[in-house]
Structure 1
Amino acid sequence: MYYSSSTGKNCAITYGDGPYANTTSWKGVVISRGDGSGEDSDAGNYKYYAGPVYVSAPGQCIDVEGISPSWTSVKLNNVHCG
């Protein structure tokens, strides 16, 4: 997850790791405001990463989820609250 103070947007990407690093494989990423609005997602067969995806959430928390090629999902809810 990254935040750009110049645009006021949060962004996220999902990298492949381990045996999936730098190999074409399925990767996914989802970002939204903490209330679920403004969702942006990207998924597909990518060599390096899925995304970036963006959400503008000034003064709000965000939710972000990354899904790896092994279908392991990491979801962070209500993070980067501003």
Structure 2
Amino acid sequence: MRRTFATAAALALSLTGLGVATAPSASAATSGAAEYGCPGSLVGTYNTPASGEVWGQLRVYYSSANSGTNCAVLLAKKYYGSSHYMEVGINISGRSGKLDSGAYQYYAGPVTVTGTNGHCIDVGGGEDNGGIWAGRSVKGVHCG
């Protein structure tokens, strides 16, 4: 449990802020950007592994609105439908950003940053279930 809080705190420090997630539908694992509240098109997908298993998938979307908008969600895969701790964060590299965390069944997020044209972003997400952490952080990606 201590690892969970330490990891969550580390992600929170790099992705400062708080977003609010909406209640997902039962089909959340296979839905598109609109289902998660993200504008734009899918531009990146990152698995969140633990001990060789994929627990979830971090998805990043991009829209040209507002001088570039990037949005991220973390989809539960292994524990889909089971309430467990999940978090997702996003920021323009070198700046504070947004983090959404809590007990979710289907996905965490969306979290969105605007003004991303001409900048790289950092995204991260993870899940905890029974004191085991599966997460991933990707820095300096989707530059444009």
Structure 2 unaligned residues grouped into runs of 5+: 1-59
Contact kept, 8 Å, 1:15 with 1:27, in 2: the verdict is no
The equivalent position to 2:86 in structure 1, one of 27, 35, 42, is 27
- What secondary structure does 1:50 align onto? strand
If the length of structure 2 is used for normalisation, what is the TM-score? 0.52
Distance in 2 of aligned mates of 1:45 and 1:4: 28
How many residues are matched? 80
Q: Which has the higher strand share?
A: 1
1:76 counterpart = 2:100:
no
Between the two proteins, what is the percent identity of the paired residues? Answer: 40
Question: What is the CA RMSD across the aligned residues, in angstroms?
Answer: 1.3
The equivalent position to 1:39 in structure 2, one of 97, 100, 109, is 97
- Tell me which stretches of 4 or more aligned residues in structure 1 moved more than 3 Å: none
Distance in 2 of aligned mates of 1:71 and 1:11: 23
Based on CA coordinates, which of the two structures has the bigger radius of gyration? 2
Q: More relative contact order in 1 or in 2 (CA 8 Å, sep 6+)? A: 1
- Deviation of the 1:34 alpha carbon: 1.0
- Deviation of the 1:6 alpha carbon: 3.2
Q: Which has the higher helix share?
A: 2
